[in-house]
Structure 1
């Protein structure tokens, strides 16, 4: 290779990075727009998926027995106390995502109490629910509804702007959750009673 060919090779190897940088600079506005559209598409997908999970939760909740009439439940046995109703409605109206999170925490709370009594390691509410299904304490309808509600809770955090969860969707989420919590409250009462009987026999 003579010196002219050597110089041409060097110049050629240095030209490509310059060309690439120049193209990035020229197309910077288009690339930013593309990134925005990708983000918009992602958020729209999250919203659409949340709505799909909410529809699935509705179908699964309908397979569970409906909760008792609110007027027939004593105040000290309500899953959602009347004193908390106005707070939830206000939260659902102003911050529907936060309202959904609070409802899911109530579900987790019942599961953690059941898990504690049964000696199930507190590694996650989903672990406890799956264990309850294995023990036939809940059927597949309750198990599937829980997992659907968990997925919907996770998806609700990704919506922004006009893709946010609506107050009506937060109320729907709470209604589906109440059916699940009613079933879990029955299981909780059952395991608490069994634990009390076992404790009484042990101390006799």
Structure 2
């Protein structure tokens, strides 16, 4: 083997590792998602365990949603949403019995979705002509009617609902109770948002312009 052949063989041996590194960098986001999915499937309890953990995280975050304030006191709005501290069992007592956790979660999300459309009607005084709950909440966030924290919680609740609706697994009862408990607090916050909408309208506060 002469020097040219030796150099060619070295370059050839380095080509595939280099290509692998380059491809790994180019598709790093897809690789990360795939690894996360593999980690979830291999974890004790699989998808169910991951779902339970995600519900617990959202349940912890919901306590820190800022109180929806009217324009008159917006700058001083630092309090958290007022609600009576209750256990998940108190809020989700109807889960005792033949109702499956999946059914409870799907029914609970429908209550959130219905209230989002109610907020749209309260603000615009018309039925939504197009779009989904997702476009409504993002629009309310742009108009500063929804705080960033509330938007994130609602999006997370919708994402968790979709996991249950489109995956072949049954959440455990504790996860369902946490979901329902969190939804109750979200609904209380949405009720506060509606009060702000009505109050601002009475005070003659200008509404945002539709884009």
Q: Same fold (TM over 0.5)?
A: yes
Measured after TM superposition, the shift of residue 148 of structure 1 is 0.6
Residue 197 to residue 139, structure 1, CA distance change in 2 (3 Å): closer
Distance in 2, Cα, partners of 1:194 & 1:62 = 25
Measured after TM superposition, the shift of residue 85 of structure 1 is 6.0
Aligned to 2:153: 145
- Is this contact kept in 2: 1:60–1:145, CA < 8 A? yes
Poorly superposed stretches of 4+, deviation over 6 Å: none
Structure 1: state its 5+ residue gaps. 1-37, 72-81, 199-204
Aligned to 1:182: 188
- Is this contact kept in 2: 1:96–1:167, CA < 8 A? yes
- 1:90 matched to 2:105? The reply is no
- 1:54 matched to 2:55? The reply is yes
Aligned pairs, number: 144
Distance in 1, Cα, partners of 2:161 & 2:196 = 28
Query: Which of the two has higher C-alpha Rg?
Result: 1
1:39-78 equivalences under 5 Å are 41=41, 46-64=47-65, 65=80, 67-69=82-84
| Cα root mean square deviation, aligned | 3.3
Distance in 2, Cα, partners of 1:50 & 1:183 = 24
Distance in 2, Cα, partners of 1:148 & 1:85 = 19
1:103-182 equivalences under 5 Å are 103-119=108-124, 121-157=129-165, 158-160=167-169, 164-182=170-188
Deviations 1:166-195 (A, max 9, x none): 111111001111221111101112223445
Residue 135 to residue 97, structure 1, CA distance change in 2 (3 Å): same
